[in-house]
A and B are shown apart, each in its own frame.
Chain A
């Protein structure tokens, strides 16, 4: 089965790529704290989605919640980070996923899986080289096989719901930046003269 989901969601895809958060994460210099908070937010989103979506067992290795948790634990241990307070955009997203599940709309849930998990299997492979930690969430057993198999479950009618997913992702990006003062790691931030996390100053306050 073929579909044109990529073309039908292209504008949303490009819009997400043009966000400030994407430029920060692709800079290779994102602060461990901001990336950790991103992982925490993602973990909530992925857990809700993967709990709700019905997928043939052979494709369940695509699920990421466990690997995201591993990455969170690694960063928390390395940098002494604490989970952030709840993000409004994440709560609204989880509610939306639960509503799709309540309406037995598995196609709607698959549209979200397409945006998130195909993104991790595609652009995520570049992101993994530019973020702190091991990037376990970007480790997939057999990307080609997973993509081919899951693509067979997708249809063009999922484009509108995929667009909804992209919008929630952008809202989450904006909230992450809005709630964090320091986007970059200290060494990079000092070298380019932007704000950085000054541990002594923070202790004085």
Chain B
């Protein structure tokens, strides 16, 4: 299981390195055991691309992948979000979405819908209240992912990340509308996820450092 997810992560990093530029996020000041954060941007379209891994499989039987790509101001295209929470033998939660910003019928979302229409998951995960206003109706949300479903998830994830990155120039639509409220709503709602906070605390991270990381690195709101 872990080797498949590590291969997926390496492939994703390769795509980002090929298309984006890495930078050191000055707000990322806390470093915790097993945590690995990488940041990229891509002028003028991408404000922030963040890939995070938590590898505590040895002591806590937990491996986690988080990816977000946020559009830069002045451009309208969906936010890319991917989360995987895994134990040694199964993925307990796998999520992937192109989430709308201004245009809720954005052609990139149509592509996502087409690519995922025929996929099914044995244990689809219902979305909580904080999630429904920000994610697309076609979001992948599956629990208890094992065996061939892991391969399916990895295949569609790499395919959709590659397509997203390679098609930004064509589909990043310039807009005069201020997209900050939509980007901030995405972050505000993500922070309403109790599991996010509890899982970080459960890894022994002090409350103040957890808040600092969540508010300034993971889901930073912009003014």
Contact = CB atoms under 8 A, between A and B. Distances in A.
B201 to A, nearest CB: 29
Nearest to B181: A160
Contact of B102 (A96, A102, A157, A171): A96
Interface residues of A, number: 14
Chain B binding surface, main DSSP class? loop
Q: How large is the interface on B (under 10, 10 to 19, 20 to 34, 35 or more residues)?
A: 10 to 19
B17 interface: no
A167 B178 CA distance: 8
Contacts, number: 28
Contacts of A171: 176
A99 B104 contact: yes
B103 A99 contact: yes
Interface in B101-133: 102-106, 133
Contacts of A197: none
Nearest to A164: B177
B182 interface: yes
Contact of B177 (A103, A105, A157, A168): A168
A119 to B, nearest CB: 19
B71 interface: no
Given A99-B103, A163-B178, 4 more contacts: A102-B104, A102-B105, A105-B104, A163-B181
Interface of A: 96, 99-100, 102-103, 105, 108, 157, 160, 163-164, 167-168, 171
27 contacts: A96-B102, A96-B103, A99-B103, A99-B104, A99-B105, A100-B104, A100-B105, A102-B104, A102-B105, A103-B100, A103-B104, A103-B105, A105-B104, A108-B104, A157-B133, A160-B181, A160-B182, A160-B185, A163-B178, A163-B181, A164-B102, A164-B177, A167-B176, A167-B177, A167-B178, A168-B177, A171-B176
